[in-house]
Structure 1
């Protein structure tokens, strides 16, 4: 892409979108297009069409989504299915309407079967049953992959889709119940330190294994893929290593400086027992994640402390 390419970043205020926006600016791209949800409700089809027809982007990065952790996904499945289907269908249909030739759709590693062979290859898609606590969100993202492939086939577009693993970093949602596991742990353990609480309760058994990718690395991968990847098959974006939720909580406690007890609550759901992506395809293309977990969590905690009165908690 040329530095003056008109690039629309859908969801540019969110965790992934804001990191992508900042990275593009740092790389010298000076013709970025963005709109907050108050300016354009991406569930409003006529509004999305009007916005893309007036802004005329040449490249679209779809980082917009309704997202949440295991509690939110399990509690509000209809909203996660409906909102995400509407958002991505509206964006892609409007992009086809104005003949956008290059589009990147960001999905989620939850698209893969609950008991997929580990590490999970892209070919595992649709090979088994999904994790029931977030199957509605997963189905929406799978539909997004299908729409990318359908648009390539029907219109000859050079659209691609990428499936990031669990993301974290500055700009995350720190809601105590509806956020993802890492920001939820960070907030809860920080508050326990402030309150001098003797223990922190961690959801689940603590044994599930998870992989985490710093959002700045995803931003670099997104630009890398737009420059180097053109295939109908989705591609994984991950760190390549995982750890247990209990070990993650211990790392967070060490970074926060909390000395109390970390107590597991096995009555809460665990979700998928393991979810580690096979990142050999993107690694073979020349991209590798650069930010280690301790480094990334430390940077996220610093950002959290600096923005504690204004962080997202919904």
Structure 2
């Protein structure tokens, strides 16, 4: 096999950092390790604004990637998604269109884009599978982001049909792990709760969780997902998207998550739920049957073990983590 250059856009984010961790810690030449002829580039937004076609092209000219894992996106938690629907729609459409088109014009051998289970219709039959993406409007809370991500699947098919491009996409559930975004205003549920619980312990205040605690979610540990992306890069060449997730039987409630965080942080103060806050969708379980049919078997890290690793990383790296706090 000829030398390969793998470009990871959004390479300094949660999943990009996890892929880098796996590539650097798994044995060279192993199932999830770096191959001897591979160069991996983990690009950050500081190397180019992917909303700009010129800057996107310059990035491709600089690295000449043969393979691209496209993770770059404007992302945020529930409340930021609700507030900035147009910004999330527009910025993500621009980013995705530029990356897909640059991959075509620079003759990239393979491109994998990252979608999300939030692209699915609000009113869908569960469990979600790969055939239900376009079956109705997404939940109102992430309308902009979801439509932008759905378009990636549309474009993948169009590039495949018109130009024969090997473009595909992965659909993970909510991701968590080291290097997450812990900014309280726009973090996803696990990092937001970890940060709040940490501050409550530090300041001797109450730990209040927004909502009822009843909604159910599937979560995937970033380092498990990283391995699945590496597997996809090597083994999966179908244009149809594939759900990379734990099984639907692995759903956990927000209360179970909060309980596990309280335990991992070692918080012993007052802890309660603010039922006046919105819950978002009650559940959106996805099936990983297609994944298991392709990969055979995969050992997912148990949820509490993965959460312990994540919380430990956050506490040890609090001063440099993405918390939104002004650094001295």
Give the TM-score taking structure 2 as reference length.
Answer: 0.91
Q: Distance between the aligned counterparts of 1:219 and 1:233, measured in 2? A: 19
Q: Distance in 2 between matches of 1:161 and 1:118?
A: 21
Residue 298 of structure 1: aligned partner:
308
* Kept after mapping to 2: 8 A contact 1:17/1:64: no
**3-state SS of the aligned residue for 2:107?**
coil
CA distance in 2, matches of 1:71, 1:209: 18
Alignment partner of 1:130 is 2:128: no
Q: Which of 27, 30, 34 is the equivalent residue of 1:28? A: 34
- What is the TM-score normalised by the length of structure 1? 0.95
Count of aligned positions = 312
RMSD: 1.5
Residues 126/248 of structure 1: CA separation in 2 closer, same or farther (3 Å cut): same
SS of the equivalent of 1:161 reads strand
Instruction: For structure 2, list consecutive stretches of 5 or more residues without a partner in the other structure.
Output: 26-32
CA apart distance, 1:193: 1.2
4+ long deviations beyond 6 Å = none
SS in 2 for 1:171: coil
Q: Does 1:110 align with 2:118?
A: yes
Residue 100 of structure 2 is aligned to residue 92 of structure 1 = yes
Q: Partners in 2 of 1:20 and 1:152 — Cα distance?
A: 26
Distance 2:176 2:42 in 1: 22
Distance 1:164 1:98, change over 3 A: same
CA contact (8 A) 1:11 1:18 kept: no
- The reply to whether residue 265 of structure 1 matches residue 274 of structure 2 is yes
The aligned counterpart of 2:198 is 190
SS of corresponding position for 2:318: coil
* Separation in 2, partners of 1:36, 1:223: 19
The one-character-per-residue Cα deviations of 1:240-266 (angstroms, maximum 9, x if unpaired) are 111111111111111111123332222
Deviation at 1:289, TM superposition (A): 4.7
Provide the rounded CA distance (Å) in 1 between the counterparts of 2:50 and 2:79.
Answer: 24
| Residue 171 of structure 2 is aligned to residue 172 of structure 1 | no
2:274 is the counterpart of 1:288: no
Q: Which residue of 2 aligns with 1:310?
A: 320
Give yes or no for contact 1:164–1:238 (8 Å, CA) kept in 2.
yes
Contact 1:9 1:21 survives alignment (8 Å): no
